[in-house]
């Protein structure tokens, strides 16, 4: 060794927060000297005399910032230990620096391919050891910072897109509702007068028939040709049908207004069932049967829910995203089936609500294509999508997660099995 601990003990500045180093070496003398040196260099040092002991030492809540790993050890050698650590997601980001007396390039390449970041050659040059450790720790901290900044930028981007989509969707729904509302009110209001006027005309005709039972031949021929009785009866039915139609349009306009909640700022007490019903009404065309499949069934199991303090427009967007995903999943599994197969197992979306303690729970489940288990952990990440290119942006679930978790202090979880459907569970505090 070209340097001793005493050569450095007076020149090293002690920093109480330099990091944790795990030293793994089967040679007690090397372990002791290196541990003492690092300790005097203001690192917290953990020691292990074998690969097995090192793995056991890592099995706790705290993890080291760097591992110094001897290559030549009995039992589980350094290469095997490195391979094991890099295969475990809990440890794979910890930088590993091999310590070895081997100078064979093939051994060094093997270690680097297994995931090691550097080599330290025995006998140790302690200044070199210290510089290499500091360099790797600096790289790791910079990487962590970059990852955190990238995640922060993605979250900010998602929030901006979310805000823009909420605003755009709200303005669009509100604009449509406003444009439709005036003419439909005009039609609905005039239908009442038409019904009244038609009734008066019918009464007048009946008076004519009563006091002039034998009209001229020309009038009798006209009555027979026009089938006046049928016209009068059918006219009443037409007016009733038009009233039903205007009532339906009025209901849709009301739902659009409820969905957008464009006039409201800040949190409000809201009935979540109204938001669900508005969303289902707006998406009604997607549930209808077509040439390729029967209608998608909607099963509602609504419990007693109190009004909750929330941003109603944002939650309506969550309902829209989750129900649209359910429809897509059902259509995805049905596209490979013929009509007869689909008819035997039609698409079903089940919506269940309940209140437990101080929380409300909403479940939206489908019997669609499901999600692969390996993908479930990523589905709420921004720009991650399981849909084909061009069909999904990877933002719907990410925005839903932001709204539920960040904006409402709730929880959004997913349970799914490939080929067996998916269930999303929303938990929200009542206040």
CATH assignment at residue 282 = 3.30.565.10
Same domain for 283 and 398?
yes
Same domain for 83 and 173?
no
pLDDT at residue number 132: 87
Same domain for 342 and 413?
yes
Residue 53's contacts (CB-CB under 8 Å, 6 or more residues apart) are 24
Selected residue with higher pLDDT from 79 and 233:
79
Same domain for 387 and 326?
yes
Last residue of a domain, one of 124, 146, 175: 124
Tell me, yes or no, whether 298 lies in a domain: yes
CA–CA separation, 245 vs 230, rounded Å?
22
- The average pLDDT across 413-427 equals 89
Selected residue with higher pLDDT from 426 and 39:
426
Same domain for 290 and 399?
yes
For residue 285, give the H/E element and its range. helix 284-287
First to last CA, the chain: 67
CA–CA separation, 67 vs 90, rounded Å?
14
Tell me, yes or no, whether 377 lies in a domain: yes
Contact 117, 95 (CB under 8 A): yes
Q: How far is CA 423 from CA 74, 110, 249, 328, in A?
A: 50, 45, 32, 14
The mean-pLDDT minimum among 14-18, 62-66, 416-420 falls in 14-18
Average pLDDT score, the chain: 80
pLDDT at residue number 8: 41
Same domain for 172 and 268?
no
Tell me, yes or no, whether 140 lies in a domain: no
Contact 418, 370 (CB under 8 A): yes
pLDDT at residue number 134: 87
- The average pLDDT across 293-305 equals 92
The mean-pLDDT minimum among 46-50, 237-241, 330-334, 395-399 falls in 395-399
- The average pLDDT across 85-102 equals 86
Same domain for 197 and 232?
yes
List the one residue out of 73, 68, 148, 159 whose CA is nearest residue 116.
68
* Rg, C-alpha atoms of the chain: 36
CATH number, domain of 74, equals 3.40.50.2300
Tell me, yes or no, whether 152 lies in a domain: no
Same domain for 291 and 368?
yes
Same domain for 255 and 284?
no
Same domain for 268 and 230?
no
Determine the Cα angle at 241 with ends 240 and 244, to 5°.
90
**Positive or negative CA dihedral for 84, 86, 90, 95?**
positive
CA–CA separation, 426 vs 318, rounded Å?
10
Determine the Cα angle at 277 with ends 271 and 280, to 5°.
145
CA–CA separation, 324 vs 317, rounded Å?
10
Check whether 10 has a pLDDT greater than 50. no
Last residue of a domain, one of 99, 124, 149: 124
Q: What pTM did the predictor assign? A: 0.48
Q: How far is CA 154 from CA 128, 166, 398, in A?
A: 39, 18, 10
Same domain for 419 and 302?
yes
CA–CA separation, 379 vs 7, rounded Å?
55
Tell me, yes or no, whether 83 lies in a domain: yes
pLDDT at residue number 352: 95
pLDDT at residue number 4: 40
List the one residue out of 120, 156, 125, 134 whose CA is nearest residue 25.
120
Last residue of a domain, one of 263, 283, 318: 263
Tell me, yes or no, whether 115 lies in a domain: yes
**Positive or negative CA dihedral for 170, 329, 271, 361?**
negative
Tell me, yes or no, whether 133 lies in a domain: no
Tell me, yes or no, whether 144 lies in a domain: no
Same domain for 345 and 254?
no
Question: How does strand 348-356 pair with strand 297-301?
Answer: parallel
Residue 80's contacts (CB-CB under 8 Å, 6 or more residues apart) are 51
- Report the number of distinct structural domains present in the chain: 3
pLDDT at residue number 219: 82
pLDDT at residue number 15: 47
Contact 15, 42 (CB under 8 A): yes
Selected residue with higher pLDDT from 163 and 96:
96
Q: How many CA atoms lie within 13 A of 108 on its CB side?
A: 10
Residue 181 lies in domain: 158-263
């Amino acid at each position: 060794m070209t340097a001793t601990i005493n050569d450095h003990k007076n020149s090293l500045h002690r920093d109480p927060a330099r990091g944790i180093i795990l030293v793994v070496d089967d040679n007690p003398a090397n372990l002791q000297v290196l541990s003492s040196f690092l300790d005097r260099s203001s690192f917290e040092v953990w020691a292990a005399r074998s690969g097995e002991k090192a793995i056991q030492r890592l099995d706790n809540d705290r993890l080291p910032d760097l591992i110094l790993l001897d290559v030549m050890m009995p039992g589980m050698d350094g290469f095997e230990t490195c391979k094991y650590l890099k295969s475990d997601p809990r440890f794979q980001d910890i930088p590993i620096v091999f310590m070895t007396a081997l100078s064979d390039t093939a051994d060094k390449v093997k270690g680097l391919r297994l995931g090691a970041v550097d080599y330290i050659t025995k006998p140790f040059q302690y200044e070199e050891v210290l510089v290499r450790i500091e360099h790797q720790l600096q790289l790791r901290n910079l990487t962590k910072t970059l990852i955190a900044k990238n995640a922060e930028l993605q979250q900010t981007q998602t929030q901006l897109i979310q805000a823009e989509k909420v605003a755009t969707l709200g303005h669009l729904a509100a604009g449509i509702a406003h444009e439709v509302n005036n003419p439909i009110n005009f039609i609905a209001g005039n239908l009442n007068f038409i019904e009244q006027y038609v009734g008066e005309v019918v009464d007048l005709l009946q008076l004519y028939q009563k006091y002039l039972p034998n009209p001229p031949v020309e009038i009798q021929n006209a009555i027979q040709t026009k089938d006046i009785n049928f016209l009068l009866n059918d006219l009443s039915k037409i007016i009733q049908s038009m009233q039903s139609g205007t009532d339906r349009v009025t209901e849709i306009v009301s739902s659009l207004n409820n969905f957008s909640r464009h006039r409201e700022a800040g949190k409000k007490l809201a009935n979540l069932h109204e938001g669900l019903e508005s969303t289902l009404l707006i998406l009604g065309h997607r549930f209808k049967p077509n040439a390729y499949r029967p209608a998608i069934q909607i099963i509602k199991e609504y419990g007693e829910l109190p009004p909750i303090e929330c941003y109603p427009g944002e939650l309506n967007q969550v309902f829209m995203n989750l129900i649209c995903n359910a429809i897509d999943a059902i259509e995805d599994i049905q596209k490979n089936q013929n009509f007869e197969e689909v008819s035997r197992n039609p698409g079903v979306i089940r919506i269940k609500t309940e209140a437990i303690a101080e929380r409300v729970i909403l479940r939206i489940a489908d019997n669609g294509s499901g999600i692969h288990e390996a993908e479930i952990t990523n589905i709420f990440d921004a720009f991650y999508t399981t849909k084909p290119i061009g069909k999904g942006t990877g933002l719907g679930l990410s925005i839903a997660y932001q709204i539920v978790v960040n904006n409402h202090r709730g929880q959004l979880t997913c349970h799914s099995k490939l080929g067996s459907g998916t269930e999303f569970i929303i938990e929200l505090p009542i206040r």
